[in-house]
Structure 1
Amino acid sequence: MELEGVLISSRGLRYTPAGIPVFEGVLAHRSTQTEAGAERRIEFEVGIKSLGECGLRLAELPLGAVIHCTGFLAARTLKSRTPILHITELRHMEGKEHG
């Protein structure tokens, strides 16, 4: 799946016991979609997680940065079935910073 949004929260960078960098934060998405012929305003926040090189890149971005990302949804944990977006590719949309 692909999504564009604003990085609004960061839990910072941590490392797994195997030394793999892990970034976690929150992405805010806003768009207009067409549903049944009518325009609909979509706004939501989603937890994000990214490992390795992509996680390192996310950790360097300031809050307010706009990113276009590709990834997949998965349960946050085995006990919490709430979805979180695992980002596998990202592009910083420079010049589109939001405060």
Structure 2
Amino acid sequence: MQNRLVLTVTVDREDALRYTPAGLPVVEMWLKHQSRQSAGGFERDVACDIQAVWVGEEAKKRAGKLAGQVMNVTGFLSQRSLRNPRLVLNIEYVEFVKG
């Protein structure tokens, strides 16, 4: 079963490009999301800050230019590491929203 999140977010800030021990490029960033959602038949405003990681060549190309960008992101949640259970959004696909 594949469960994916799709969110519209604004990149609040990003860390410098780094590489995994396997040599994969990684950009870690903090995202802001705001929307209006329906839950239990009632509408409510939703706002949250999300820690995210984007791995791969596309992340490498965009590194250093992401802050302030609005994007539609698709990905999945996982814990940060074996020792740190904090949730992190692992970005698999990005579509930049033109402002």
Name the TM-score class by shorter chain: 0.7 to 0.9
| Identity rate, percent | 34
| Distance change >3 Å, CA 94–CA 61, structure 1 → 2 | farther
1:18 corresponds to 2:22: yes
Q: CA deviation at 1:80?
A: 1.2
Supply the RMSD in Å over aligned alpha carbons: 1.4
Q: CA deviation at 1:62?
A: 3.5
2:82 to 73, 78, 81: 78
| Distance change >3 Å, CA 58–CA 29, structure 1 → 2 | farther
How many pairs does the alignment contain? Answer: 95
* Structure 2 unmatched runs, 5+: none
1:6 corresponds to 2:10: yes
- Matches of 1:18 and 1:35, distance apart in 2: 42
TM-score (norm 2): 0.87
Kindly provide the CA deviation profile for residues 46-90 of structure 1, in whole angstroms up to 9, marking residues without a partner as x.
Answer: 100011123224415341110101111000111111110000110
Matched residue type, 1:44: C
